[in-house]
Amino acid sequence: MNSLQITDLSKTYNNGVKALDAISLDIPKGMFGLLGPNGAGKSTLMRTIATLQEADEGSIFLGETNVLKEKETIRRQLGYLPQEFGLYPKVSAEKLLGHLAVLKGIGNSKNRKEVVEALLHKTNLYEHRKKNLGTYSGGMKQRFGIAQALLANPSLIIVDEPTAGLDPAERNRFYNLLSELGEHAIVILSTHIVEDVKELCTNMAIINKGQVLFQGSPTAAINQLEGKVYRKTIKKHELADYKERYTVIAEKFFMGELMVHILNEGTPGHGFTTIGADLEDVYFSWIFGGIKPGFTN
């Protein structure tokens, strides 16, 4: 199956913000996590891949297809679940999916009925199919979003910040659904939630300020930090001092005490103990710890 190749993609908005700064990514089949803080450029990148906005420079290819030029071809293969999508609150899931199926060109009514039913089953919404969308919970709305994104049996699926506002059970259900999709398609999951990527993705990239900081597997990212992350429990009032002396990448309360993680080349001493990094340490090392190229490898 084709991979998605993004090469030197740049975009500067009219207000001068450089949202994408020569982004290059190679995205294979499966779940790909695009991780970055708010403002990193994730939505700009997702919308550009989804043919909803133009780039200034660079290219995107899905196999042989030029995404930036052959928009109609891409749209036929694309499932896009935007951060927020308008739902018609007084229409049932079954009805809206039917309408959207017509728009996607599934003209034959018997065929359409089958496709809609299959998707309602797949997303666990079948028993709620007659209910108006306005009565759906956050998780049900997200699953409906997936159902509509899957209408055209897409080979490329883009999901923008999907788990915000879902409770843990809903999130799990949603994870299961997404990971199934990754077996047959390229699924790009854009998120600032490290957990989403940790649970689901075989490949990932960390982006910030429009640039790719890391690209590879979550395991490779974690291995890079081996022997470089240390932990210590400190008093709350000591935090500022520690931040001055060390590269603090995480601070969390644990049973009423403050635990800090630092990034350090070599043993820092002073009561710090070495720990195995997790993906959260990786993410914050890149975003806040300012790992310099060459720090690792």
Contacts to ligand ADP by CB under 6 A: 13, 15, 17, 19, 36, 38-44
Nearer residue to ligand ADP within complex by CB, 14 or 297? 14
User: Six-digit token pair at 117?
Assistant: 């039913």
Nearer residue to ligand ADP within complex by CB, 15 or 297? 15
- Shortest separation between residue 165's beta carbon and ligand ADP, angstroms: 16
Instruction: Provide the edge-to-edge strand list for the sheet that holds 156-160.
Output: 78-81, 156-160, 186-191, 30-35, 203-208, 211-216
- Shortest separation between residue 36's beta carbon and ligand ADP, angstroms: 5
- Shortest separation between residue 50's beta carbon and ligand ADP, angstroms: 13
Nearer residue to ligand ADP within complex by CB, 160 or 199? 160
Cβ atoms of residues 170 and 123 within 8 Å: no
Cβ atoms of residues 242 and 260 within 8 Å: yes
- Shortest separation between residue 210's beta carbon and ligand ADP, angstroms: 7
End-to-end CA distance of the chain: 31
Ramachandran category for residue 77: left, alpha or beta (phi over 0 → left; psi -120 to 50 → alpha): alpha
- Shortest separation between residue 236's beta carbon and ligand ADP, angstroms: 31
Nearer residue to ligand ADP within complex by CB, 19 or 93? 19
Which residues 6+ apart lie within 8 Å of 192 measured at CB? 35, 36, 37, 38, 40, 42, 161
Nearer residue to ligand ADP within complex by CB, 211 or 223? 211
